[in-house]
Amino acid sequence: MALDDRKSDFTFIGTRPDRPDGLDKVTGRAKFGADAVAPGMLFGAIVRSPHAHARIVKIDTSKAEAMKGVKAVVTRADFATGLTGEFWNVQENVMAGDTALYDGHAVAAVAANSALDARDAAKLIEIEYEVLPHVTDVDKAMEADAPVIRDGTADGSVPEGMHPNVVRYHESGHGDVAAGFAAADLVIEDSFKTEATHQGYIEPHACLASLGADGKGELWCTTQGHWYAQKHCAALLGIETSQLRVTASEIGGGFGGKTTVFIEPVALALSRKANRPVKMVMSRSEVLRATGPTSSTSMDVKIGMTKDGTITAAEGVFRLQGGAFPGAPMEFTAMCAFAPYALENVRQVGYDVIANRPKQAAYRAPGSPMAAFAVESVIDLLCQQLDLDPVEVRLKNASKKGTKASYGPRFDDIGLVECLEAARDHPHYSAQLEQGQGRGISCGFWFNHGGETSVSLALSEDGTVQVSVGTPDIGGSRASMALMASETLGIPYENIRVTIADTATLGYNDVSHGSRVTYASGLATIKAAQAAIAEMCKRAAAKWGIPEDAVKWEDGCAVPSGPNAGDFEPLAMADITADMGATGGPISGHFEATPEGAGVSFGVHIVDAQVDPETGKTSIPRYTVIQDAGKAIHPAYVEGQFQGGAAQGIGWALNEEYVYGEDGRLQNAVFLDYRIPVASDLPMIDTVIVEVPNPGHPYGVRGVGETGIVPPLAAIANAVSRAAGVRMFELPMSPPRILAALKADG
Amino acid sequence: MTKIHVTTTVNGDETEFLCDPRETLLDVLRDRLNLTGAKEGCGTGDCGACSVTMEGRLVCSCLVLGAEAEGKDIATVEGIADGDTLHPLQRKFIEHAALQCGICTPGILVAAKSLLEKNPDPSETEVRYWLAGNLCRCTGYDKIIRAVMDAATEMREAS
């Protein structure tokens, strides 16, 4: 059986069947995080710091504990001690220790008979604070006189003489940038800033936890990774990992923000203390104050170019503020920054800076969109000043197979040139612009990820199939798994049911992140199906009395091949499964490994912007996303990823931002003030799916989820800058910023 | 706090419940009547995930008190399908892949149904402005708008 040959002619893959969870989701019966109940359930509420930075002097819980209906109050004293590394950081974030590190930091929690009682009881917990000096801006946090937030956090990578708030450092590149700049006809260097944004999933964090004094527990939660939740909750509570069974609910959006834990360990601690199940649901304001956001950034980018558009050297310095904890993805920012371009001389530097803000969490291609904003803006300035076409310049310098990437390795098959050619040839790129409009383009890059993956596939007697995967379905992945299983097995899509298994019924799975699900769980599903096929061929061989390798699998049937071809009637899958009990027992296939051929991803966006010089308001009349999907399994959901990434990028570019006051408190912690794009803000978003197969996947799949948010910031900035006639160096390009830039420009 | 006794109609069924005066209609639907189709995304009337109709008018159930449901006719996402027959909007949402995570879908379906009852032939702009109170973070709205327009066409042709 030539199972390892890459398939290219497909029967089911590339079609657009209804998603298996569609009916549940249009009728309201799908169960999300907050939709679960348990007998005897209590409701939890959290008390949060109103200060950006304060020592916790005293917590008095007596009044809350005395309130009728209150069953448990917990503080940091109710969690495990002696944790180190990331466990300790997560614990510090989930429940403050000696010091509240940001506005919204959890300090205590209470469980009561009703949600209203819990909220009332939370107000009775009295906390005495000693307010400390704070800093929330990335540049100010690096200045010599900035308050030290967590001394001793810096690791060995940080050069001597840096402020203690600089906690990690990255440097990479190759060639001789000084010589490269000397060879340029034009060198442009500029500085850029971006504000923090939130993932903005519509479903707040929610969980239902049950933990007993015997150390055995159950947790239901909305998460991108229930094994991650299991491991971290167990560590924070001081129980054994395997004794906590975690089930992932339907997830109402994550975009990276649900790759960690917040309320889950707290609900478990309350449950253990009260000996009752505890449900916790965050308010939107808690979501904005205490979860998510991205890093804010401050960046300097310098690029040299010859008159014909060849980039001779590129250099970038990227400072990322990631809240009061190490982990801002500055190395991703640095490594992604120049990845679209084949450069002989390139150098990138990253700083991870802590400040009095919530712990940053991943958001779709974490760190990459900001880098693209800075780099692609400078390339656009070079194109304007050298009077060059922006797509042609990018084509001239584009990375291709064999290029030594700016971050080190050599690229295998990649689709950037194909994306740029599709952009050049797209009618959008040559369409006439109206008065007051500008057009911008940008490339975008993301690594994509494999990660630890387990899949189990079991055959039923009637020849249908159940697939258990461990990666929560955040955008239709059950449909793509079923398509890949049906393609491999040669049976209809409808005969396959895909379930997201809980932590007790499947081996370990890494989080649904890094655009890894369709790639890694898909590869695992294919391999598991191939294992089941091998067993079915074995059963057919035994029945026919011929060698196993003389049986091949074709269109859902075992078929005699080679010298035995035509000797026996093909055996359909349902014929083999019907008597599998008598021919050797149940048939299933499984896969446990860490796939490492994720295949990097590139995209190109074209956007038209219209700027109203009176109000500074920008509208987006036209938008086109072009991206390499490797192979689109379910094209409608690939388009959906492209469109969703673009829409989030539009919000980030034009409007969304964390606004902190002088007091270090978040000023816009509701959706009215943290305004994400609504339907009337956006145009239809056109999509072009480019398919340059990924050599690391049996069907050529590349992850598509994240790259779509990388180009929009820069593409829109380039369009707005051309429309307004003034370059924008800071995001978001909200009306006041555009008016200020127009005024400064005279 | 003394609870209030409320008699109301939900999806055509006469319903009674007791609620705290501070509970919202959304709290009552989800926690007392087990109708968890309406979602709480913000609790401040900004996201539309809790959309229901009261006396035929589209409202955010998080901004209505449970006690205000007295004597009123409430309709939720659970009442949109007719037995095993999906409403055209529900079918078109599945067909057009107009949902990714699906958390906003119940609210958007309730809102879109309310639009098509008032305006069976909306323009794209009218659909976009009507749904401007329903946040979706996954889709960029493109496929949602197409699904609503397509359902409207089918419903006009069928009537």
| Residue B31 with chain A: CB contacts under 8 Å | 115
The predicted structure's pLDDT at residue A1: 37
Distances (CA, A) of A597 to A341, A411, A634, A695: 21, 12, 21, 7
Listed residue (A625, A572, A636) closest to A602, CA to CA: A625
- Yes or no, beta carbons of A671 and B77 under 8 Å apart: no
Residue of B20, B90, B140 with shortest CB distance to A26: B90
Distance in angstroms (rounded) separating the CA atoms of residues A457 and A471: 14
The predicted structure's pLDDT at residue A746: 77
Would you call B119 an interface residue with chain A, using a CB distance cutoff of 8 Å? no
ipTM greater than 0.90, yes or no?
Answer: yes
The predicted structure's pLDDT at residue A6: 66
Span A628-634, average pLDDT = 98
- Yes or no, beta carbons of B145 and A255 under 8 Å apart: no
In chain A, whose CA is at the least distance from the CA of B89? A26
| Residue A620 with chain B: CB contacts under 8 Å | none
Instruction: Look at chain A and count its residues.
Output: 746
Phi, psi of A465 (to 5 degrees): -135, 135
Instruction: Look at chain B and count its residues.
Output: 159
User: Which 649-678 residues of chain A touch chain B by CB within 8 A?
Assistant: 670-672, 676-678
Distance in angstroms (rounded) separating the CA atoms of residues A734 and A739: 9
Mean pLDDT, chain A, integer = 97
Tell whether the model's pLDDT for residue A4 goes beyond 60: no
Residues 6+ apart with CB under 8 A from A521: A453, A455, A469, A470, A471, A477, A481, A509
Query: What 8-state DSSP symbol labels residue B30?
Result: I
* pLDDT tens, residue by residue, A54-101: 999 999 999 999 999 999 999 999 999 999 999 999 999 999 999 999
CA A499 and chain centroid, separation: 21
* pLDDT tens, residue by residue, A114-127: 999 999 999 999 99
Distance in angstroms (rounded) separating the CA atoms of residues A68 and A64: 9
CA A20 and chain centroid, separation: 23
Span A495-506, average pLDDT = 98
Count of CB atoms within 10 A of residue A439's CB? 19
User: Cis omega before residue A693 (within 30°)?
Assistant: no
Would you call B131 an interface residue with chain A, using a CB distance cutoff of 8 Å? yes
The predicted structure's pLDDT at residue A745: 86
Residue of B42, B109, B136 with shortest CB distance to A26: B109
What is the set of domains in chain A, with CATH numbers?
22-30+450-593 (3.30.365.10), 367-448+599-745 (3.30.365.10)
* In the block, residue with structure tokens 């010298």: A563
Tell whether the model's pLDDT for residue A638 goes beyond 90: yes
Span B120-136, average pLDDT = 98
Render the burial of A543-578: b for 16+ CB within 10 Å, e for the rest: bbebeeebbbbeebbbbbbeebeeebebbbbbbbbe
Query: What 8-state DSSP symbol labels residue A39?
Result: T
Residues 6+ apart with CB under 8 A from A379: A303, A311, A390, A393, A394
Rg (CA), chain B: 16
Rg (CA), chain A: 27
Positive or negative: CA dihedral A402, A403, A405, A408: positive
- Yes or no, beta carbons of A474 and B101 under 8 Å apart: yes
* pLDDT tens, residue by residue, A124-158: 999 999 999 999 999 999 999 999 999 999 999 99
* pLDDT tens, residue by residue, A287-333: 999 999 999 999 999 999 999 999 999 999 999 999 999 999 999 99
Share of chain A above pLDDT 90, in %: 98
The predicted structure's pLDDT at residue A2: 40
Question: Sorting pLDDT into bands at 50, 70 and 90, what band is B159?
Answer: confident
Distance in angstroms (rounded) separating the CA atoms of residues B25 and A342: 59
| Secondary structure string (H, E, C) spanning A256-276 | CCCCCCCCHHHHHHHHHHHCC
Which DSSP string corresponds to A556-608?
TEEEE-GGGTTSSPPEEHHHHHHTHHHHTS--EEEEEE-------EEEEEEEE
Count of CB atoms within 10 A of residue B1's CB? 9
Would you call A255 an interface residue with chain B, using a CB distance cutoff of 8 Å? yes
Tell whether the model's pLDDT for residue A3 goes beyond 50: no
Tell whether the model's pLDDT for residue B1 goes beyond 80: no
| Secondary structure string (H, E, C) spanning A513-554 | CCCCHHHHHHHHHHHHHHHHHHHHHHHHHHHHCCCHHHEEEE
Would you call A318 an interface residue with chain B, using a CB distance cutoff of 8 Å? no
* In the block, residue with structure tokens 């976009």: B128
Both tokens of residue B154?
């089918």
Span A25-32, average pLDDT = 98
* pLDDT tens, residue by residue, A176-221: 999 999 999 999 999 999 999 999 999 999 999 999 999 999 999 9
Determine the residue among A26, A42, A624 to mutate to test chain B binding: the one whose Cβ has the most chain B Cβ atoms within 10 Å.
A26
Flag the least confident range among A271-280, A402-411, A666-675, A737-746. Answer: A737-746
Q: B62 and B45 in contact (C-beta within 8 Å)?
A: yes
* In the block, residue with structure tokens 């007392």: B32
Question: Sorting pLDDT into bands at 50, 70 and 90, what band is A5?
Answer: low
User: Which 20-59 residues of chain B touch chain A by CB within 8 A?
Assistant: 20, 22-23, 27, 30-31, 35-44, 46-47, 49
Count of CB atoms within 10 A of residue A633's CB? 28
Q: A26 and B94 in contact (C-beta within 8 Å)?
A: yes
Distances (CA, A) of A556 to A11, A553, A573, A577: 12, 7, 6, 12
* pLDDT tens, residue by residue, B15-70: 999 999 999 999 999 999 999 999 999 999 999 999 999 999 999 999 999 999 99
- Yes or no, beta carbons of B102 and A200 under 8 Å apart: no
What is the nearest CA distance from A470 to chain B, expressed in angstroms?
Answer: 17
What is the set of domains in chain B, with CATH numbers?
4-79 (3.10.20.30), 88-158 (1.10.150.120)
The predicted structure's pLDDT at residue A8: 76
User: Which 102-161 residues of chain A touch chain B by CB within 8 A?
Assistant: 114-116
* pLDDT tens, residue by residue, A218-277: 999 999 999 999 999 999 999 999 999 999 999 999 999 999 999 999 999 999 999 999
Span A383-390, average pLDDT = 98
Which strand (E) or helix (H) includes residue A742? Answer: helix A735-745
* In the block, residue with structure tokens 């997560």: A90
